[in-house]
Amino acid sequence: MTEGVAGEVSGRLSESALERIRAMARRYPSARSAVLPALWTIQDELGYLPPWSIEVVAAELKLLPGDVEAVSSFYSMYFNHKPGRHVVQVCLNVSCGLRGADDVLSHLREAMRLDEDGTTPEGDFTIEGTVECLGACGGAPMMQVDRYSYEDLTGESAVEVLQKIRSGEIGERR
């Protein structure tokens, strides 16, 4: 990638975000250690990681774009498409699966009328249905909404949680 292209695409980020990424590169002994926080910086600003953002992180950290892409595609917490205002992740690992995670996910998909990206028509929620272990096996089945956990769910109670978030009964916790 040429410097001109890196400068062109990095112009889509705030100077503050770029400076945070540069500070991370200086903070860590290895640039690879700064990839995760650099990706978070971009996702926190834009809501997702557009394809050009991988090139920006690679250029700022002096890494290959493929190395950054490998990290961003490995973790389910990074999004390569613009998600809804709230991100819902349903755990499908063994404990949750044995206690009804498929029913929870099925109820959510039906009740929320998802499009092909798993986003509701209003853009309120994006449901990621392929998440492995969210670390709450004792409260299975569970889901996270915007990094907050809801446990011991049924299909009906999961839908109720999202309805309460949508109505404002459960407030913004971002």
- pLDDT of 74 > 50? The answer is yes
109 vs 6 pLDDT, higher one: 109
Residues in the chain: 174
Does an H or E element contain 51, and which? helix 51-61
- Please, what is the average pLDDT of the chain? 88
Mean pLDDT in residue range 96-124:
89
Q: What is the pLDDT of residue 5?
A: 43
C-alpha distances in Å from residue 172, one per residue of 41, 65, 159:
20, 35, 17
pLDDT digits (tens, 9 = 90+) for 149-168: 999 999 999 999 999 999 98
Q: For the chain, list the domains and their CATH numbers.
A: 3-74 (no CATH), 86-167 (3.40.30.10)
Would you call 106 exposed, middle or buried from its count of C-beta atoms within 10 A (0-12, 13-18, 19+)?
A: middle
